[in-house]
Structure 1
Amino acid sequence: MRYVVCDRVGLSRLPEGPIASYIVLFAHSLESQGYSVQSLRHQLRIVAGFSRWLAQTGVELHRVCSEHASQYLRYRARRVQACRGDSAALQHLLDFLRDSGVVPAQRPATRRSTAAELYAQAYRQYLREVRGLAESTIAYYSTFATDFLQDRFGDGRANLSRLRASDVIGIVQRKAQRLNFRRAKLLTTALRSFLRYARYRGDMVRDLADVVPVVANWSMPSIPRAIAPDQIRQLLSSIDRRTGMGLRDYAILLLLARLGLRSGEVVSLELADIDWSSARLTVRGKCGQRSELPLHADVGKAIAAYLRHGRPHSACRRVFLRSKAPITGFRGACGVCSVVRHALLRAGIDAPTTGAHQFRHGLAADMLRHGASLNEIGES
């Protein structure tokens, strides 16, 4: 006898075990996130089997945790061939049960932090509370600081008074060889900041920030490399706007090319940020700053087309949503960079880079060609 879980999916038998009464609610939760019928069927089969296994092993519902999921997957793999998505299905279930308050949130495994990690934590707090830097900058700087400390001191005590100029120069030379120019320059900037912090704390007498080498820039032009106007036109014309994803990608690329938005600004854009009556766009920039920009007619038309004909139904207030389940906003700026990279690849365009920032550089270069000053560009 077939047991109907929701309108589109059923199970071959009545669910059993401690999770049985939550399977219908779980199915509705997956539906609301935009999962396909095929994915729903697979996830519900895994969950139903997990529930039966919990009953057989005597595990009570309030004790269910990630370890039980791992044990079940090992048990199942001995009987049937494992499929891609088995582990994700149980993770989705555990997240649902925890969000519903059915099972307690799992405590993260505790691990004693190394001296390098503790020092980097204090550095992060300094950057946040004293320097007031953006979280993205703090993350970059503290990661480089942790790597530097572990490279020099390992898991031992971080005794910065023992640092010498040769240590600093040697580490930069080794690491910079494996990085592109932008990341290498960021490394040296972060390292100077960290060494100044160490001296500020009194852990160093000598100011070693001055000995951090300058990254050679022989191959780079004085103005950042930018995507050319004809490449932008070719890229936009290559987008298939007959699909929802095409409408989304076209609107995103126009925002990058016409307004010079950063990828993070595109990601954080919300429906309430668009003032259609006055054709204005509110953008969340670095350090949480908000600014208003004119909404050009072609950009507004592209966003409206996506909202009307391409955007999936979702409670999420972000303008641009993922095309695959779970249907929600992009997790970070890398989502927009992925849109750019795949669009360039599909169009067969050999752009200067595969990132989103080249459009901002392209807009700046275009403004320079039309007589704008560097100060005017910096303020835009």
Structure 2
Amino acid sequence: MRGDMLKRELQAYAKEIGIDEFRVTTADPFLVMKQRLMEQQEKGYASGFEEPDLERRTTPALLLEDAVSIIAIAVAYPSKLKDAPRGKEGERRGIFGRSSWGLDYHQALKQRLTLLEEKIQELSPGARSRSMVDTGELVDRAVAERAGIGFSGKNCSIISEEHGSYLYLGELITDQYLPPDESVEELCGSCNKCLDACPTDALIEPGVIDAKRCISFITQTKTLIPEHFRYALGNRLYGCDTCQQVCPYNRKKNATQHSELQPDPEQVKPLLIPLLSLSNREFKSRFGSLSGAWRGKKPIQRNAVCALVHYQDRTALDALRLMAETDQREDMRALAIWAVGRIAGQEAEDYIQKRLLTDSAEDVQVEGNRLLEEWGNGHAI
């Protein structure tokens, strides 16, 4: 089948299976992105979650022999939480970022890409292809940008005039020729709202992000985080939407056409205190369908502790003291002690001194003694 005919057939089919944007680019190397990635690594801005091999990240032919074309797809996700439960004193709630609402997007997009691969086989028997979503080697944003899904905004998101930036991205490399689409002009203009709004100044300059300062990245780490970042989390349990929320292209954008991506309000805006005592099994049962569960319960629980400090929720003190005394994880006991001190203030001085006498773990000693030093009683035990 001729390339233009094949493309038209696939575009029509893509709409049938719930793909909102279907564009095509060549399988040529992504040389501009390679240079950006090299600079990102040199400056220490990479998160560490990425594929380390820059050649594989930017050379499609290394991923599929005889690669000719790349299909870029996008699926819009919701930005509004209908019937959102309201938090109140004693029942404070955290929030999962919008990209973690509904069914894990890796599954949602992979299902669509698999159907697309099967359709290519049906229309062009013997065709070879390879698809990927997020965790694959290629940079989704680079593929989407060159294919014309949207332009790369100052907040490093792909922005579509029709859908905004609330888009899941995926791609399919194929050895079949499909006429490529044109890229889209960058349309941020003089707007700097995302740079001004970033809570941690992670957007170093337009189109440049220090991933290690980005709250979305920080919420996914598993270790203790510096205290100033703990405050910056607010009530975020996973992800951060600030730079997208302020973007003018996202005004009134709320995709409701994909039922499996619609959020369960109680799941994505859960009560904080119960999170502290969840078992692994309970966590998987309740949150396992979300993309935000991929790192397990520890980051979510750590972020919940920070959120309780954000709210200064004194009703959480009993649960935090229990965590400080019984949790098997040294860093979580340390964080709980910090939280007790930050919520109760100097009232907690005697309690913290007792914990330092009982618990010799290094993290616990560091967090506890820092509080005591602030109160004029450092290393008093």
Q: TM class by shorter-chain length? A: under 0.3
Q: Which has the higher helix share?
A: 1
TM-score (norm 1): 0.27
- TM-score norm. by structure 2 comes to 0.27
Larger radius of gyration, structure 1 or 2? 1
Write 1 or 2 for the structure with the bigger share of strand.
2
- Higher RCO (CA 8 Å, separation ≥ 6 residues): 2
